[in-house]
Each structure stands twice: as structure tokens, then as C-alpha cells.
A and B are shown apart, each in its own frame.
Chain A
């Protein structure tokens, strides 16, 4: 990157790390920067949380119901395999630009969360479930004592993977949908005006946000894993 930037005229096509860093320092104090970060984070992370809730709920419902697993398998496989751009364009027909990144982020997160939690629940020890039945252990305690310790490690690895995915797909959706005051809009503007330092600065912001959210979320899951059990 630094070498390419050193070629005459190269800085236009590829900014140097120093230029990107300086641009980032310029952006940091501005309100517009933090508004874009806040808007994108709320939508993308909101979509992530929605998908986690829905994926976990459907996995819990499907765990003991093979017919529901069969019913969900084709749409889950389609979401996993189809290009994210296809979904973004299709979703633009139905949704406004503000909801797009939330929806696309949720769509990318749902399959790994659903499939991993389902795999975890399938591994639940049937002998402990028999114990719970004989001792008439209520559902809440069964969830906390048997299902949660079993499913949480699977949920953790799925959410670690999904957090990266949701930021990639979410910002791609913003670049296409152009909701005002978002990171995606800033990336698009940078591309239009060939502002490569802006492009790299915003990319660094996305990477940092993805890393911070992943750290915080996984710490929360680890805390829950430590507490799971009666």
C-alpha cells in the first residue's frame, strides 16, 4: 500500500497508511463521524441481535421436531449459498434504505446461529433429560442447567463467525441502499470522489468496530457460560 502510494499519481488510486491515518484523525472529532458510526452500529448490531434471538428460538423449537428442521433446511441452505448482493437488491424492493442493513445483517447471521445452536442442542445428554423428567424439574431450570451449558459453546463459535459476517454484509447493504448518515454512505461517497484516504479510514473504522463488538459480545457470552447451571 505504501509502495503503491509512492508511485507518481499512485496516491489517488491507493492512499498510503499515513494518509489514511491522518484522514481518520481528521474525522474523529466530527459529529458526523460519530453519527455515522452510531447509525451503522445500531442497525448492523441490531440485526445481529435479532438474528441471534430468532436463530436460537427456532433451533430450540426445531431440536425435538425433525419436521421443522426439514422445513427450515431449504431456506437456510439458500441463504447460506446465495450471493449477499442478490438479497440486498431483492430486499431494496421491499424495504426502505434504513431497514436494509439491519435486515441483511440479520439474514447473514441467522444460518450460522441457527445451525450451530441446533447442533449443540442435538448433543444434549438424553440421560440428563430423563433425570429431569423423573425429578420433575421445571423447564426454566432444565434450560439453565442442561440446555444452556450444552448450547452456549456452539452459540459462541457461531456468533464469533457471524459478527464478522454481519459487518461485511451490513456495510455492503448500506453502500447499495445509501441510507443517509451511515458508514456505507461515506464509503460510497469516497468511491465516487476517488477519496482513497477516506475509503481506507472508514474501512479501518469498520474493522475496529467489528473487533470491539466481537470482544464485548463474546465476553458477555463467556460470562453467561460461567454462570450457566443452577
Chain B
């Protein structure tokens, strides 16, 4: 499965954010690297169908996605299992193991509002990785994570993202050597 974007343009209030972006996203990790405010999130939102481009075409993105957004977007009053059940309809059988590898407990009954920022971020990532999607859109998934947790998350992204396009928006390419990079330069 491949996702194509051609001549993609998007502006907000007359300020251009993306101007004529053309790229192919093949299975495996593709990094979208750019300084803040230069269109990483906009590109992912366009691919997820949350916004329409001003011009250009997108092909192959009309599929099921697993996504990590800029914010965690968790139901704060629910525990981990409740959040997974809400987004995925059930708690997948492999959820316990995957969460454990991220240093989280599926059986933790505390609502996630009592969790630390890093724990919430890892749960948001776990939700995306467990989703039955054909592609992954990960917007700064390592925000708030220390080196060890970042490494664990990256390992899991590689494993669970095998065979599907993984669009990873980040400003820090450490550990991602060898992955193709789309660099957005902004204007």
C-alpha cells in the first residue's frame, strides 16, 4: 500500500503552510521533519481527511488509520482499558503485552487524568499501534518521553508498522537513521 500526494497546497488565513508538496509514502517509516509551524501537523491532518487541501491531490489515504495527534486526546476520566475500548471497540488480546512493553499496566484502574504526561503519551501511541489500521500517522509521538522510553516506542513502531506506511512527524531524527525523510521548509 502506498499513499501519494501531488501538488498539495494549504494555507490558513492567507498564510501558506504547504505549497505544492509532492511525495510518495511507502510501507515503513517515513519521517516528516520540519521546524515547528511549517506544516507537519497540517500534512497529517490532510492525509487523515480532517481538512481539505486548497489544491493538489491525495491518493491511497482513504483507509483505516491509527493516529497519534499533537495532543494525547484521551478520555481523561477513564482508565487505560476504557480508553482502548472507546477507540477500538474492545481491548485487543495483545494490549496487555504491548502496554507492558511501554511500561504501562492495562489493569491500572486509575483514570488517566492521574497519569503523568509521558504515560499518557505512551497510551496514545499504544492506542494507535493497536488500531486495526492500514497506515499510521504519528504526530510528535515522543513528546515528553525520556531516552529509554523513546527507544522502546520506536522499537514498537517499527514492529507494528511493518508493511504499512508510517508517517512520523518529528523534529528529532535520532534513531531514525536510514528512514526516508520528507523535509518541510516552510516559507
Which residues of A are interface residues toward B (Cβ below 8 A)? 127-128, 130-131, 133-138, 141, 145-146, 149, 229-230
Known contacts A141-B86, A229-B82; decide if A135 and B131 are in contact (CB<8 Å). Answer: yes
Residue numbers in B under 8 Å from A130 (CB-CB)? 50, 69, 73
Give min CB distance, A203 to chain B, whole Å. 42
Q: How far is the CA of A134 from the CA of B44 in the complex (A)?
A: 11
| Complex A-B, nearest 10 residue pairs according to Cβ-Cβ distance, in ascending order | A230-B86, A131-B73, A145-B86, A135-B87, A230-B85, A134-B67, A134-B48, A127-B73, A229-B78, A130-B50
Interface residues on B, range: 10 to 19
Known contacts A130-B50, A135-B131, A137-B86; decide if A230 and B67 are in contact (CB<8 Å). Answer: no
Give min CB distance, B45 to chain A, whole Å. 8
Which residues of B are interface residues toward A (Cβ below 8 A)? 48-50, 64-65, 67, 69, 71, 73, 75, 77-78, 82, 85-89, 131
Q: How far is the CA of A149 from the CA of B76 in the complex (A)?
A: 11
How many pairs of residues, A versus B, come closer than 8 Å at their CB atoms?
Answer: 46
Question: Which of B65, B71, B88, B89 makes the CB contact (< 8 A) with A134?
Answer: B65
Q: How far is the CA of A138 from the CA of B131 in the complex (A)?
A: 14
Residue numbers in B under 8 Å from A149 (CB-CB)? 75, 77
What are 23 contact pairs spanning A and B, CB under 8 A? A128-B73, A130-B69, A130-B73, A131-B67, A131-B73, A134-B48, A134-B49, A134-B65, A135-B65, A135-B67, A135-B87, A135-B88, A137-B87, A138-B89, A141-B86, A141-B89, A145-B75, A149-B75, A229-B75, A229-B77, A229-B78, A229-B86, A230-B75
